[in-house]
Every structure is written in C-alpha cells, then in structure tokens.
C-alpha cells in the first residue's frame, strides 16, 4: 500500500482496512459499536480511461461480489474513489469519462479525486466513527441562536408572539432601551418522566377519531406503505401517530382535537400510549430526551421538533436534486440540513442585521459630527479663556457665533443683537447637550464645559 494513503487512513483513526488486488484499498468504516457505516474503495492505480464504460467495468469487477454479499442499508453506502495524480486529474478534467463516471450510482457512488481531495474527505468519516450514535444528542442550531438573542434582549427577532413587529419599530425600540421581551415562565422542577428512546411502533388503534380512514386498527412492520386515493385518510393515520407522541400536530397546531381516543402500542412497553393533550411535562421531557432541547417556558413545542427531525422534506429534496439555480440549491439545502425553523430564523436575523447596519451608519455619522462640534467648542473655550476684557470677549463670541451659526453681523453690534446671539447660544447648548446625553461615554467635552462658555457669554452681555 502507498505510504501516503496509509497516512490518510491512520490520521482518520480508521483501523479496519485491507489491501485488495490491482492497487485497491478497501476501508470498512465502522461506528464504535462495530456497526458498518460504509465501504470505501480507494483505487490508486492512477489510470485514466478512454470511456466511462472502461472505468465502470473495473469498478464492477472489484465491488460486485462484496456488494451482493452485503445486506440491508450497507448496500446504500458503497463508495469508489479513482485516485489520480495532479497532472492526470487535470488531464481527465478535459475528457468525458470522469464526469460521466461520477453521476453513475450502480454498485457505488463514485468520485475522481487527488490525494488532497482524499485527505479532505476523511475527517467527517472519522468524526462519525468515534461517535456513539445511540447516545448522541442533537445540536439544535436554532435553539442556540434563540439563547444568544434572548441574552441580548432581541426577543423580537425570534418570538412567535412578537413577530408582528416590523423590523424598523423593533430596532427603534432596542436603540431606545425599550425592547419588548417574550414572557417566560420557568418549568416546575421534578424528576424526568421520559428516560428512554421509544421502540418500534407496533399497532395503532383509532377508537374515536376522524371519519377516515374507515379501518381503525393498524399493525405495523419494519417498513410500511400507505396507499389510497386523496381524502381516504393516509395523512390522518400519520397525524394520529403525531397526536399520541406529541400532543399536537404540526399542520393543525392551533386546532384542538376534542374527545379523540387513540392508542399506540410500542415495543418494549407493557401498556399502550394514549392521546393526552394536557401532559405538558411529559412532552417537554420527551423533547429534552429525544432531541436535546431543554424546556424553558410553559409550552409544548415537541410537535415542532418532531416535524423537524422525523419528517423528511420531500419538496426541498426534489428542489435540491433538480434545480441548477445557486440560491434555490442553498435554500433547499438549509431546509433539509437545518430545518424550517432555522431557515426562517436566519431570514429574520438577516432582516434585523440590515436595519441595524443602517442605524449604525446614521449613529456613526452623528458621532463624527459631534466630535467635530466638540473640537470646535474646545477651541472656543480656549479663546474665551484667553480674552482679557469684555470687549475682546464680545468680539470672540461674535466671530465664533458667526462661523458656527452661519450668520453675518455688522462691525458695530448693539445690545439687542447680542441678546439675539445669546438666545441662539442657548439653543446650541440645548442641542449639543442632548447629543452628549445620547452618548454618555464621550469624554471629549462635558455639559460643564458648555455651561462655562455660556456663563462667560452672559457676563459679556451685562
């Protein structure tokens, strides 16, 4: 085996591999419990091919027998890597065989790559192989964002109850230190009511439920297919399961299901689980234990997490596999990988970010203008302090007020004009004082400095 390939495998801490014939290494990727996750064939013969058929023929000869010996999900996780040197990889990029091979999924998913690509493909596998999947907790990105936003008092970004607020009004309230906060009530302490993951669903009995489906008793196997025309009750069966497990359904969360009598038999449980819409603590404990999302207020949000993690978004999957538009690819990927809640919250955060950015530019400009005015006032203060008599002080004030207020005065100014200047100085003091109050951390000038200037001006008018 090539030493550089061995180093890549060892760096990923994968110890189940073997050298096959014809310059191929088979890596058997397993979990900590020795559960087989995937078979990865690394073909380092460094061959290029005249056609995709030639490349696929070689892959089939190596993989075929092992593929048919595998059972269950293992057949979905065969990978075949054509490892090429950099120069041959660049050469193959100009031919059709490499692109055609990589869209073929018979026996294995295929990639044509270089050693650097191979190194980049293994860290994710190594993380999975060192993770005890059975005990792994979900990392709920949306919940982490909500925690950070709540600490910053930005509840209006995420709260379902507060989303009626416009971006502009919410940002304005936040800047005025009057944000609206989501009401929270801590969950009453108590021992967890859920301590294990449920077993397989064995039987569903609809004692009292909707008119459809007509059949009311369903026994499940490992894989189940629901077939029927529109309106025959296929969705009702799924929602009955959701009701028992979660207390609500995602499609009809606001509609109460009154007088429903539904039983669900689960393997490993001696008694059937009944539909009980008011078991708040039980549903919160389920959400915490199943998805790693701790309860924070007196609400049942289990049905939302159940929808995120247990229902596959076929619409997003279809868009992701068929569209070529970059934005649509990204949107559908986010919906599949992160869930609708995270996708929606991401849009809200982007909207608030734009508004905060606009306000930041405005406030920055005001601070620059304020700094300029403060610098000017400091100069005025120095001139006023250096004035030796009231006549010289009047001249300084007249000159500075002319520049600051855009006024023009005659050489000889009577007392009425000076009183007018004094009123304008009062207005300037009020305006500058409000700016200083708006930025209390400014250390360049204080109201006391402005008061001192105004006092000297007043004395000059007497």
What's the pLDDT at 206? Answer: 93
Contact 216, 176 (CB under 8 A): no
What's the pLDDT at 125? Answer: 40
Sheet holding 261-266, edge to edge: 217-219, 201-208, 261-266, 273-274
Using 70 as the pLDDT threshold, list the residues of the chain that sit under it.
31-33, 72-73, 122-140, 161-165, 184-197, 296-298, 312-313, 340, 383-422, 424-425, 428-462
DSSP string, 5-41: HHHHHHHTT---EEEETTTEEEEEEE-TT--EEEEEE
What's the pLDDT at 449? Answer: 58
Helix 390-405 / helix 340-386 crossing angle, nearest 10 deg:
150
What's the pLDDT at 245? Answer: 92
What's the pLDDT at 385? Answer: 66
What's the pLDDT at 124? Answer: 43
CA distance 132 to 232: 41
Within 13 Å and on the Cβ side, how many CA atoms surround 155? 13
pLDDT digit string, tens, across residues 186-241: 554 555 566 666 788 999 999 889 888 888 899 999 888 988 888 888 989 999 99
Cα torsion 200, 206, 209, 213: sign: positive
What's the pLDDT at 130? Answer: 37
* Residue 213 preceded by cis peptide, ω within 30: yes
What's the pLDDT at 133? Answer: 38
Contact 287, 233 (CB under 8 A): no
In 145-200 the beta strands, taken as DSSP E runs, fall at none
CA distance 37 to 128: 9
- Structure tokens of 39? 């078979």
CA distance 421 to 237: 83
CA distance 49 to 217: 58
The helix/strand/coil state of 292 is coil
CA distance 341 to 348: 11
What's the pLDDT at 447? Answer: 54
Domain ranges of the chain: 3-133, 141-175, 201-311, 353-460
What's the pLDDT at 316? Answer: 78
What's the pLDDT at 44? Answer: 95
- Structure tokens of 7? 């180093």
Strand partners, 299: none
């Amino acid at each position: 085996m090539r030493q550089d390939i061995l180093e890549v495998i060892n760096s990923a801490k994968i110890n189940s591999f073997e050298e096959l014939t014809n310059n191929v290494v088979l890596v058997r990727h397993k979990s900590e419990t020795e559960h087989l996750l995937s078979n990865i064939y690394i073909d380092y013969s460094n061959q290029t091919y005249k056609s995709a058929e030639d490349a696929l023929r070689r892959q089939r000869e190596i993989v075929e027998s092992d593929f048919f010996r595998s059972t269950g999900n293992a057949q979905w996780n065969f990978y075949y890597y054509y490892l090429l040197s950099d120069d041959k990889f660049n050469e193959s990029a100009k031919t059709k065989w490499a692109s055609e091979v990589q869209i073929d999924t018979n026996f294995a998913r295929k990639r044509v790559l270089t050693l650097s690509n191979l190194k980049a493909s293994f860290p994710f596998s190594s993380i999975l192989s060192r993770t005890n999947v059975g005990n792994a907790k979900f990392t709920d990105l949306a919940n982490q964002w909500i925690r950070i936003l709540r600490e910053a008092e930005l509840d209006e970004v995420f709260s379902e109850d507060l989303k009626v607020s416009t971006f502009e009004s919410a940002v304005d309230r936040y800047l005025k230190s009057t944000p609206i906060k989501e009401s929270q009530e801590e969950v009453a302490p108590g021992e967890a009511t859920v301590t294990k993951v449920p077993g397989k669903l064995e039987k569903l009995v609809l004692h009292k439920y909707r008119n459809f489906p007509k059949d009311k008793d369903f026994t499940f196997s490992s894989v189940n297919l629901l077939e029927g025309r529109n309106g025959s009750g296929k969705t009702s069966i799924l929602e009955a399961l959701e009701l028992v497990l979660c207390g609500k359904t995602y499609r009809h969360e606001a509609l109460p299901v009154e007088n429903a009598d539904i039983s669900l038999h689960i393997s490993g449980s001696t008694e059937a689980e009944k539909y009980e819409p008011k078991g708040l603590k039980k549903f919160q404990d389920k959400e915490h234990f199943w998805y790693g999302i701790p309860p924070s207020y007196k609400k049942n949000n289990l049905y939302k997490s159940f929808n995120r993690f247990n229902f596959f978004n076929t619409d997003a999957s279809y868009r992701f596999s068929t569209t070529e538009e970059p934005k649509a690819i990204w949107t559908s990927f986010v919906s599949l990988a992160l869930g609708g809640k995270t996708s929606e919250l991401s849009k809200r955060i982007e909207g608030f970010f734009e508004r905060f950015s606009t306000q930041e530019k405005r406030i920055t400009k005001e601070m620059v203008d304020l700094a300029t005015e403060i610098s000017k006032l400091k100069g005025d203060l120095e001139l006023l302090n250096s004035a030796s008599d009231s006549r010289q002080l009047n001249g300084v004030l007249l000159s500075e007020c002319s520049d600051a207020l855009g006024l023009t005065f005659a050489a000889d100014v009577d007392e009425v004009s000076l009183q007018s200047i004094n009123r304008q100085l009062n207005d300037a003091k009020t305006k500058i004082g409000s700016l200083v109050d708006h930025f209390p951390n400014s250390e360049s000038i204080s109201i006391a400095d402005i008061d001192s200037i105004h006092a000297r001006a007043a004395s000059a008018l007497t």
